[in-house]
Structure 1
Amino acid sequence: MTAIKSFVFPGLRSRVVFGHGTIAETGAEIEKLGRGRSLVLSTPNQKADAEALAGQIGGLCAGLFTDATMHTPVEVTERALAAFKQSGADCVVALGGGSTIGLGKAIATRTGADQVVIPTTYAGSEMTDILGETAGGEKTTRRDPSILPETVIYDVDLTLTLPPALTITSGLNAMAHAAEALYARDRNPIITLMAADALKALAGALPALAKDAGDRKARAGALYGAWLCGTALGGASMALHHKLCHTLGGSFNTPHAETHAILLPHTVGFNSVEVPDLLAPVSDALGGTPGAALFDFAGSLGAPTKLRDFGLTESDLDRAAQIATKNPYWNPRPFDRESIRALLQDAWEGRRPPQ
């Protein structure tokens, strides 16, 4: 029997409603929070869905803001704040992926508004108290209790139309949250259990969805896995992987999910040299050594594997390594600018990690 060491478990602080057709519960969940006027948020691509939701909740909708943008630019948040105040809203309803959820968080932490979040991807941001914002060409992150959504509604039916390519990269993005939670400085046995189960759920669901994007059972499994991934990240600290993704996304505007998908095998492979035992759940879910197994898994799903395919140049890698090591996150394996530059080169070329 494994000896249990002392640990701190922060608890599960968001109310979660999970199932099929659960978006119909949105109005009731707003009322459970004691709120009555919501600003409904979305990206331009999901404007029609936001309008439909506004019609569904009727008088509980005070207005819409449909300009949520990737990496949560501060200038967009300022416009959304003006819309929030003008509408007289007392809460936000975020319908969409990480871009929309991030905007809801940005509004909430500035105003104290409650949040009802309805994810349509596997981003996992909805279960964390983490906010990443972009200003002046750099992305910064912070954690605060005011950032964590009060209620999350998972509706499997909303993911049935998620495009196949985004399904895969969003799922790999979620797996990155679980992987980092496994070796986080403040990890605990409960978070480890969640992360391990999440990896198994997504390892089973994503190949099925690559074959049939309308597989309802696989969609439910992927959304369940994504919930666990987000919860794991919400209960532990981020490390090297998220630092590099924030650097590339905030400073070079690389697409969020794709950046996670490409970097994950390399960051996990880098850290597995130092903590192979902590990353054993990755091998258990996929087989092989952690970094190489993730690379092969992503490749089998048709996911992108090269940073250069998103317009990054080798000189960009030099700047990215400098930014990432300027204010580094804690990481289980020490690193410096040279080692990060080498890791980014491998990811730029799409080289299979040895570990």
Structure 2
Amino acid sequence: MKFTHESLPQRVRFATGEAAAAVAAEVKTLGAQRVMVIAGEREAEIAARVTADVPVVLHHDEVVMHVPVAVAERARERAAEAGADALVCVGGGSTTGLAKAVALTTGLPIVAVPTTYAGSEATDVWGLTSDGTKRTGVDRGVLPRSVVYDATLLTSLPGEMSVASGLNALAHCVDSMWGPRVDPIDQVNAAEGIRGLAAGLPLVADDSASVDGVEQTLYGAYLAAVAFASAGSGMHHKICHVLGGMFDLPHAQTHAVVLPHVLAFNAPSAPEAETRMAAAFGAASAVEGLARLRTRLSAPKALKDYGMPEDGIAAAVAPILAAIPDNNPTPVTEENLTALLTAAWAGEEN
């Protein structure tokens, strides 16, 4: 056994019902006096509550999926005009992504307050979209200095969105099992993330206000993101980033649809990782465990249901092939990738 593992420097506060106090404490630790709050219109009320004791100079609510470059540039301009010295982002992956885009060019520190299970808050990965292409990169400067997890902030998230967002987190776990920089510690974190998500998501699907369910799911989503930040982006995320950028598909639902197809594609070529995942699901195989969970959750099934055109399959093959890491367990060809995308588009079962 030989590997090099690096943990990202970040403080995590996990305490149900204590978001406002935790955010105030983190802002004080940063010594910030002029905070820019980034939160979409849907999270405006939550953002107001959790930043009530923070010296806010600007509320910014232009949050757009996949973070278009023009949107990022406007947010950067507003941060400069307000003289902001820190960012507090309250919301899902798009909100965190916008805060990262601002931090990328300004160096402002981020305190992230997630209201979905996206996991972006625990990674140093940024993404920007321009002309139908989503570019991603890694920069330690965009990693939030601290994350405040409060289960009560997710109890109003609709059950359908909770399921899609949670399956997006599960995709982080699966991709981390064979990411380009994967090591045994990543696989341990990813497996425990799968266990937490598989335990919490059914509770949340039945009752989106279940604090126990939200806590389990948040715990799993955080571990998923930590594993993913270390292991790197694998085949699944490369597919979803290309499709999302090209066709403006909803992020979480796209991940939820593509996940079982990538798992079935790679699992036979990664027996050790497959065994870990099967055990985490409590199933005979990883594919069976995921299928059982998806059935229980009535998970999204087909890309065509979210606006992807059928002729987009052929258009997406080349950019996806160019993006998939060389260490993917199963060799990827134009033919088998086309078959995978076709199955995901149509919603075929594995």
Per-residue CA deviation, residues 261-306 of structure 1 (Å, 9 max, x unaligned), is 0100001111112112212222113314323432332122011111
* Secondary structure of the corresponding residue to residue 73 of structure 2: helix
Aligned to 1:158: 153
1:1-33 deviation line (CA, Å, top 9, x unaligned)? xxxx11111114111000112312212101101
Correspondent of 1:309 among 298, 305, 310:
305
- Distance in 1 between the 2:214 and 2:244 partners? 27
2:90 aligned with 1:98, yes or no?
no
1:32-85 C-alpha deviation (Å, 9 max, x unpaired): 01222110001222223333444x024x11111111111011110011011101
2:111 is aligned to 116
Equivalent residue number for residue 43 of structure 1: 40
Question: Partner letter of residue 28 of structure 1?
Answer: A
Match of 1:206 in 2: 201
Question: For 2:182 and 2:304, how far apart are their aligned partners in 1?
Answer: 33
- C-alpha separation in 2, matches of 1:251 and 1:195: 29
Name the residue aligned to 1:235. 230
Which aligned pairs between 1:1-355 and structure 2 lie closer than 5 A?
5-24=1-20, 25-54=22-51, 56-58=52-54, 60-286=55-281, 287-330=283-326, 331-353=328-350
8 Å CA contact 1:50, 1:64 repeated in 2: no
Cα distance in 1, alignment partners of residues 44 and 204 from structure 2: 26
- Give the counterpart letter for 1:71 in structure 2: H
TM-score (norm 1): 0.94
Provide the C-alpha distance between the structure 2 equivalents of 1:79 and 1:328, rounded to a whole number of angstroms: 32
Quote the Cα distance in structure 1 between the aligned partners of 2:18 and 2:176. Answer: 28
| Residue identity matched to 1:336 | T
Note if contact 1:43-1:99 (Cα within 8 Å) is conserved in structure 2: no
The alignment's TM-score, normalised by the length of structure 2, stands at 0.95
Percentage of pairs with the same residue: 37
One-letter code aligned to 1:102: G
Provide structure 2 residue ranges, at least 5 long, that are not aligned to the other structure: none
Q: Is the 8 A contact 1:269 1:291 kept in 2?
A: yes
Q: Distance in 1 between matches of 2:75 and 2:68?
A: 11
Q: Which amino acid aligns with 2:35?
A: S
CA 1:154/1:196 → structure 2, altered by over 3 Å: closer, same or farther?
Answer: same
CA distance in 2 between counterparts of 1:52 and 1:18 reads 17
The letter for the 1-side match of 2:71 is: V
Aligned residues: 347
User: Does the CA-based 8 Å contact 1:139-1:246 persist in structure 2?
Assistant: yes
Give me the whole-angstrom Cα distance separating, in 2, the residues matched to 1:327 and 1:212.
38
RMSD (Å) for aligned C-alpha atoms: 1.4
Contact 1:299 1:305 (C-alpha < 8 Å) held by counterparts: no
Deviations 1:198-241 (A, max 9, x none): 10111111112222222211111111111111111111111110
Contact residue 92 and residue 113 of structure 1 kept, 8 A:
yes
**What's the offset of the Cα at 1:126?**
0.5
| 3-state SS, counterpart of residue 110 of structure 2 | strand
In structure 2, C-alpha distance between the alignment counterparts of 1:146 and 1:337, rounded to whole Å? 36
Q: Which runs of 4+ in 1 moved over 6 A?
A: none
Conserved in 1, the CA contact under 8 Å of 2:274 and 2:285? no
C-alpha contact 2:121 2:143 (8 A) present in aligned 1: yes
Matched residue type, 1:242: H
Task: For 2:323 and 2:172, locate their aligned partners in 1 and report how far apart those are by CA, in whole Å.
Answer: 20
Most deviating of 6-15 and 259-268: 6-15
Q: How far has the Cα of 1:142 moved from its partner?
A: 0.5
Residue 118 of structure 1 aligns to a residue whose secondary structure is strand
